[in-house]
Amino acid sequence: MMRRSAPPAADWSGLDAVQPLAPQEFDQIRQLARQTFGLDLKNGKEELVSARLRRLVKDGGFRSFQEYHRHVLADSTGQSLAHMIDALATNHTSFLREPDHFDFLRQQVLPTLAARGPLEVWSAACSTGEEVWTLAFILNEALPSRTVRISATDISNKALRFAERASYPAERCHGLPANWLSRYFVPEDGSPKTYRINPQIRNQVTFRRLNLVEPLSWPRPFPVIFCRNVMIYFDRATQERVVQQLAAHLEPGGYLFVGHAESLTGVSHSLEYVRPAVYRKTQKREGKWSKSS
């Protein structure tokens, strides 16, 4: 009788040895994300968290998300936490996103600022930079004789590095006015497939990493702050804290632009409603906090 040979030993070396994300591990990561940068990971986001962090877990040699979580907490340099933030942060944006904001800025806000000296505005969640450069183009067009400065901040080091390079594939520039492409961009290395922001515009912007849920400090208030499509990821208490800080850094009469998906309805704040997703700091001293549209 012919004896069957034993099957070859299984080779697990090429397989992902990281254990699946357990419910308690998701809760640990969710709490850390909320405490450190305000991200509100609701139930149902387990697959997203697992997918975005698995590479960090695996590359770090950890067998479980719990081991990885302990490592992030123990890393006194903060680098592990920064990498976790980069992985979890959503950086979707585009040039001229929510264009009615830029129309309102051009038609209603900038004419009131035309007589002042240097103009500095703040893009508080600048992501990969498209909002920043859109602001720069509009400011330079509307106020050609003024000195323009833009402070651009984001919590994601990865997004900031991309924004600072100021280089974009042609497909991400699709839909921009032709005169903007010719005036504010240069083909990179002579190739029309990638465009780089020209040096004059690039030099008007200063990038800085900033966590909106931590205490903020700027040397002067701003007449315009854009903080769009980031507060949708915060819980209500964090939204109120962030809006209060943003309002404190607006000059009297200054404007705050938020994303159309993040109305401040039900959020306590001291700003007056102007139009959907646009709010204004009153000229007089702020009164008590109230809820508005």
Mean pLDDT across the stretch 217-226? 95
| Residue 175: its H or E element | none
Q: What is the pLDDT of residues 92-130, one digit of tens each?
A: 789 999 999 999 999 999 999 998 889 999 999 999 999
Please tell me whether residues 195 and 158 are part of one structural domain. yes
Is 245 contained in some domain? yes
Assess contact for 65 and 29: CB atoms under 8 A: yes
Please tell me whether residues 235 and 282 are part of one structural domain. yes
Mean pLDDT across the stretch 217-239? 93
Is 13 contained in some domain? no
Mean pLDDT across the stretch 133-152? 96
Please tell me whether residues 151 and 235 are part of one structural domain. yes
Residue 175's pLDDT is: 87
Write out the E strands in the chain: 119-123, 148-154, 167-169, 185-188, 191-197, 205-209, 222-226, 250-257, 268-269, 271-275, 278-281, 290-291
- Domain end marker among 48, 67, 88: 88
Q: In this predicted structure, which of 172-176, 185-189, 213-217, 232-236 has the lowest mean pLDDT?
A: 185-189
Is 143 contained in some domain? yes
- Domain end marker among 68, 88, 108: 88
Please tell me whether residues 148 and 31 are part of one structural domain. no
Please tell me whether residues 157 and 37 are part of one structural domain. no
Residue 191's pLDDT is: 64
Residue 158's pLDDT is: 93
What CATH number corresponds to the domain at position 282?
3.40.50.150
Is 110 contained in some domain? yes
| Residue 118: its H or E element | none
Residue linked to tokens 């504010």 = 184
Please tell me whether residues 284 and 147 are part of one structural domain. yes
Q: Which of 219, 206, 279, 207 is nearest to 244 (CA)?
A: 279
Task: Evaluate if residue 217 carries a pLDDT over 80.
Answer: yes
- Report the sign of the C-alpha dihedral through residues 43, 44, 47, 52, in that order: negative
Assess contact for 271 and 281: CB atoms under 8 A: yes
- Report the sign of the C-alpha dihedral through residues 257, 159, 93, 180, in that order: positive
Please tell me whether residues 40 and 107 are part of one structural domain. no
Is 168 contained in some domain? yes
Task: Evaluate if residue 292 carries a pLDDT over 70.
Answer: no
Residue 264's pLDDT is: 87
Residue 241 pLDDT grade (very low, low, confident, very high; cuts 50, 70, 90): very high
Please tell me whether residues 207 and 82 are part of one structural domain. no
Residue 284's pLDDT is: 63
What CATH number corresponds to the domain at position 53?
1.10.155.10
Q: What is the pLDDT of residues 162-186, one digit of tens each?
A: 999 999 999 999 889 999 999 999 9
Please tell me whether residues 135 and 192 are part of one structural domain. yes
Q: What is the pLDDT of residues 63-92, one digit of tens each?
A: 999 999 999 999 999 999 999 998 998 777
Mean pLDDT across the stretch 151-172? 95
Please tell me whether residues 145 and 269 are part of one structural domain. yes
What whole-number distance in Å separates Cα of residue 250 and Cα of residue 54?
40
Q: In this predicted structure, which of 11-25, 26-40, 156-170 has the lowest mean pLDDT?
A: 11-25
Is 121 contained in some domain? yes
Residue 164's pLDDT is: 97
Mean pLDDT across the stretch 211-238? 93
Mean pLDDT across the stretch 59-65? 93
- pTM, rounded to two decimals: 0.84
Is 231 contained in some domain? yes
Domain count, the chain: 2
Please tell me whether residues 76 and 185 are part of one structural domain. no
- Domain end marker among 38, 60, 88: 88
Average pLDDT, the chain: 89
Please tell me whether residues 84 and 166 are part of one structural domain. no
Task: Evaluate if residue 145 carries a pLDDT over 90.
Answer: no
Residue 181: CB atoms within 10 A of its CB come to 15
Is 9 contained in some domain? no
Task: Evaluate if residue 3 carries a pLDDT over 70.
Answer: no
Residue linked to tokens 């984001």 = 154
Please give the residue range of the domain that contains residue 204. Answer: 99-291
